Amino acid sequence: MTSLPIPATTTCPDFGQLLQTAVEQAFNAVIVTDAGQQNGDFCIIYCNPAFCRMTGYTATELLGRSPRLLQGPKTDPLVLQKLRECLEKGRFFQGSTVNYRKDGSSYLVEWSISPVSDAHGKVQAYVSVQQDITARVRAEQRQALLARALNATQDAVLIADKQAQILFVNQAFEELTGYGSDEVQGDNPKFLQSGERKPDFYIQLRDALARGESCNTMFTDRRRDGSIYHAAQTITLLQDETGIIQHYVSVTKDVTELVMRTQELREQAHRDALTGLLNRRAGEKRLQHCHRAAQMEGRGYALILADIDRFKSINDRFGHEEGDRMLKRCADVLSRMVRSGDAPVRWGGEEFLIVLSDCKLHAAQDLAERVRRAMAAERDVVVGTITLSLGVAAWQPGESSTALLRRTDQALYRAKADGRNQVAVAF
């Protein structure tokens, strides 16, 4: 292997040896070619051991040969053309293409070629620093393939570092949340929280992740436009070889439609098909809930039981279709008059129950009277005036819900027996 040409301007007596040793031990491959005086072709006049390792040739096999021996079918002719143009003009060149080793295997090489000129500016040689970038390019290709695959999936994917700062989100995440990738880079995903989950939910989630547990759970999050969506989310931990958490990978499936449909079906199961009020089963649950609160917290509650007066005669005279219409009209009045949170119940037939949580007897009596007057003020073009009889009772300490309901029903019976269209109270 020949020695490197040493610049004439150096004043250090050991510089030549230092330069020779540095290039010989360099990680990157280095070759020096002449200026192409022989038939316009360039000949290798120096190559370091790294270049020999990269190409599979010995220095003896390379010296005096043209670098063209490394070219093959996949070597990019456009890159070679640009290389020749730069060398002809004595300019620096940088590029990459496919070269071939002595055994015929291909590799991706990245070149940086600089002309070496004498004191008069005449090019004397070219120095090429090269690097086998095959592994790097393949890794980049795999990374690009992974990114394309993640962007192709319909599930939202988020990758965060160990500080829970977002490193990557796919297109499905952008479409689901309305946030662009550039907007969320470096942020903590908590900006998605809608506030509909209690703080304990997130505390338990963080504790589970800190213990190294992957999590499958349901989130109720908020999009950029403020709308709520429901997400079935899997959070997986990525650990290094020592078991230290390095990244979090979240895969989210939008289940908003499923959740809304489930809620709708559940709501339908609790609603009376004709009036839209709570059905008896749901009313019984509401009653038991109020009763437990009364027992545990001492908060009283009251009941109003209302019945449409002479409903059978309405059906007999005008038909069941008009009777159903009166039931719906009565339900509308009840829904309009009750307090927020005190939903009326279709208890059965033409009978309605209102469960009034945290309510005293006098307040329940006042409400019943307002309901009675509102219903009596309704004037139907077909049926005319329809009225309600109402019974009212308030819970007494130690009393069961069944006993309270029985007293309310007895009060209603008195209201009907005393002439209807009135409120009777059970004291």
Q: What is the per-residue pLDDT for 58?
A: 95
DSSP classification of residue 201: H
Decide: 230 and 259 in contact? Cβ < 8 Å. Answer: yes
Give me the residues of the chain with pLDDT under 70, please. Answer: 1-13, 15, 37-40
Q: What is the per-residue pLDDT for 44?
A: 93
- β-partners of residue 233 are 217, 252
Pairing of strands 423-426, 388-394: parallel
The two tokens of residue 76 are 């990019």
For each of the domains in the chain, give its residue range(s) and CATH number, in order of start.
15-132 (3.30.450.20), 149-259 (3.30.450.20), 272-426 (3.30.70.270)
- Alpha-helical segments (H) within 270-345: 280-297, 311-318, 320-337
Q: Using a CB cutoff of 8 Å and minimum separation of 24, what contacts does 179-182 make?
A: 179/224
Distance CA 144, CA 373 (A): 73
DSSP classification of residue 304: E
What distances in angstroms separate CA 9 from CA 16, 21, 31, 220, 338, one per listed residue? Answer: 11, 19, 22, 72, 100
Give the predicted TM-score (pTM) of the model. Answer: 0.52
**Hey, CA dihedral for 223, 228, 232, 237, is it positive or negative?**
positive
In terms of phi and psi (left: phi > 0; alpha: psi -120 to 50; beta: otherwise), the region of 56 is left
The amino acid at 234 = T
What distances in angstroms separate CA 195 from CA 184, 199, 222, one per listed residue? Answer: 19, 9, 9
Known catalytic membership, residue 378: no
Question: How close are the terminal C-alpha atoms of the chain, in Å?
Answer: 116
Catalytic, out of 350, 351, 378, 399: 350
> How many other CB atoms are there within 10 angstroms of residue 371's CB atom?
24
- Alpha-helical segments (H) within 153-304: 171-177, 181-184, 199-210, 256-269, 280-297
The amino acid at 284 = E
C-alpha dihedral (138, 141, 146, 151), degrees to nearest 10: 180
Q: What is the per-residue pLDDT for 324?
A: 95
Decide: 306 and 334 in contact? Cβ < 8 Å. Answer: yes
Distance CA 406, CA 403 (A): 5
Distance CA 127, CA 6 (A): 13
Q: What is the per-residue pLDDT for 18?
A: 81
